[in-house]
Chain A
Amino acid sequence: MISNLIKRKIFTLLKVQYSNMLEYRVEIALWAISGIIPFFMLNIWTNNNLNESINISDIMLSRYFLCAFFVRQFSVVWVVFSFEEDSLMGKVSPYLIQPLNPFFRYFAQHLAEQITRFPFALIIAFFFFIFNPESIWIPNLGILILSIVSTFLSFLIQFLIQSIVACLCFWTEKASSIERLLFIPTLFLSGLLAPVVSFPKYVKSWIYLTPFPYLIDFPANLLSGNETNIVGGLSMQILWILLLFPLFKKIWSEGTKKYTAMGS
């Protein structure tokens, strides 16, 4: 009974958010285009023959960056910006009265956006293959399912981290600057701009203990068929989610106690 109710809630939320997202198709298309930085990086790598030193062939590297693009497309999170705006505008108050954690709303918003974004990402990939026909490959079904799972886990990790940052809005009001700070290590260490294998030794020795390489590098390696430790990667992702979730619950319950509505 209860689980049925939750299911219905989630389904309704998704439906509402999906139709909402479909209104802004152009926006989402543009947003998909803004994620093409990995392709520029690929261009630098192959054009200067930098990949020879890290023992990855041109084709494998181009697949890697294409997968990095895909993983990034489906793990973009912006919950802190939505929450900050809602909290500054006082929109959080009505959400808090409802018998549903407002983060479910944002979660459904993100999922709906990903569904809307999917065709655009496919179109960009199609153009990529026109320019690089030799890098076409078809991953087998098992790998495909595993990489979709790991991309989703990567999305969950980022969603949890950002939600924790978003909860800081209860104390500071402008939490998005903290998010911009956290985005810098995510950008440089996640493997979006350069695969983690190419990092110097002094970074590689500690980077696998942080959540960053599991955000893009691991799912992208998995999908593109580059060498990676599947069991280790997935368990690290789950470990980080298990660590972050109680933290989020704690900060959420502390924050709502602290909350004083705007404009009241």
Chain B
Amino acid sequence: MILRKYLKVYKKFLHTSFASELEYKTNILVDLITAILSLVGSIFLLSIFFQNSGYIGGWKFEQALIIQAIYTILNGITNTWFNPNLTEIVKHIREGTLDFVLLKPIDSQFFISLKKINPSGFLEIMLGFLLLFFCVRINQIDLNLIFLTLSLITISCSICILYSLWFFISTTTIWFVKTWNAIEVLRSFLYIGRFPLNSFSFSLRIFFSVFIPIAFITTIPSEVFLGYSVLWKIVLEVIVATVFLITSRKFWLFALKFYTSASS
């Protein structure tokens, strides 16, 4: 019953945000070119790294491309859902419109996280999948059921971790009001996800797996694709994802207690 209500509301969200985004048609084309160029650019950078060395952190060029593909898919998801919605929290809090969100008879986190959609991100997701299929071909990975479920599990966990990180930082807006730049910091850290974790020095590796689990986001799913991954890593990723989701939810509810509307 409740689920059906939320599905219905989500359909309405999709409809309205599609209608408003499609007003800017050339924008979508420009965004597509941006996504393609950005992928070409990062493959170019990767090729510079590999031009005089066969392995980076134990990864071959063809294998490192898988990380690029997964990064592109996740970046597309970020651009489609997280970026347009969670940057909106800042606006809600600055202008006091969060009041209207809280008064609605649906869950505020649901409303705030899924209200908008940016269709140009879909193109990036498709681009990522194209590269991923290409990688599956050149790395001669045989697709079987166990492999597919494992990769699906790890990628969904990555999405959950990524969402929680974004939501966590956006929630801090309730205290700090302007957190645009905190999001920029997160973005620049996430950039690390384009490269295999092993290519960094030991201290950075620890930092990016304990404090900001960027390691989990792209490296573990890529390892699953290559068949390198061990079971405990996958289990660990599932645990990390659940912990992150639950904490970000708890943190949102906790932060709402401190919300004092604007100009009141």
> Interface on A for B, CB 8 Å cutoff?
24, 26-28, 30-31, 33-37, 40, 43-44, 47-50, 52-54, 172, 174, 177-178, 180-181, 184-185, 187-188, 193-194, 198-200, 203
Q: How far apart are the CA atoms of A102 and B200 in the complex, in Å?
A: 45
Looking at B3-11, B149-157, B175-183, the stretch in contact with chain A turns out to be B175-183
Given contacts A26-B176, A40-B192, A185-B37, contact A47 B47 (CB under 8 A): no
Q: How far apart are the CA atoms of A35 and B184 in the complex, in Å?
A: 9
Contact of A44 among B27, B49, B52 (CB under 8 A): B49
Whether the pair B184, A30 counts as a contact (CB closer than 8 A) is: yes
Q: How far apart are the CA atoms of A50 and B184 in the complex, in Å?
A: 28
Whether the pair A48, B57 counts as a contact (CB closer than 8 A) is: yes
Whether the pair A184, B57 counts as a contact (CB closer than 8 A) is: no
Inter-chain contacts of B195 with A (CB < 8 A): 44
Task: Identify the closest chain A residue to B44 (Cβ).
Answer: A188
Whether the pair B49, A50 counts as a contact (CB closer than 8 A) is: yes
Indicate with 1 or 0, residue by residue over B171-199, a CB within 8 angstroms of chain A CB atoms.
Answer: 00000101011101101100110010001
Task: Identify the closest chain A residue to B24 (Cβ).
Answer: A174
Q: How far apart are the CA atoms of A33 and B169 in the complex, in Å?
A: 15
Whether the pair B51, A33 counts as a contact (CB closer than 8 A) is: no
B: interface residue count bin: 35 or more
Looking at B28-36, B124-132, B225-233, the stretch in contact with chain A turns out to be B28-36
Whether the pair A177, B30 counts as a contact (CB closer than 8 A) is: yes
Task: Identify the closest chain B residue to A188 (Cβ).
Answer: B41
Contact of A50 among B24, B52, B178 (CB under 8 A): B52
User: What is the distance, in angstroms, from A62's C-beta to the closest C-beta of chain B?
Assistant: 12
> Interface on B for A, CB 8 Å cutoff?
24, 26-27, 30-31, 33-34, 37-38, 41-42, 44-45, 47-49, 51-53, 56-57, 176, 178, 180-182, 184-185, 187-188, 191-192, 195, 199-201, 204
User: What is the distance, in angstroms, from A24's C-beta to the closest C-beta of chain B?
Assistant: 7
Whether the pair B30, A37 counts as a contact (CB closer than 8 A) is: no
Given contacts A34-B184, A48-B56, contact A172 B51 (CB under 8 A): no
**Cβ-closest 7 pairs across A and B:** A53-B52, A188-B41, A30-B181, A34-B184, A184-B37, A34-B188, A34-B185
Q: How far apart are the CA atoms of A31 and B185 in the complex, in Å?
A: 7
Inter-chain contacts of A180 with B (CB < 8 A): 30-31, 34
Task: Identify the closest chain B residue to A53 (Cβ).
Answer: B52
Q: Known pairs A48-B49, A184-B34, A185-B41. 13 more at Cβ < 8 A?
A: A28-B181, A30-B185, A34-B181, A35-B188, A43-B204, A44-B56, A44-B199, A50-B49, A53-B51, A54-B52, A185-B37, A188-B44, A199-B48
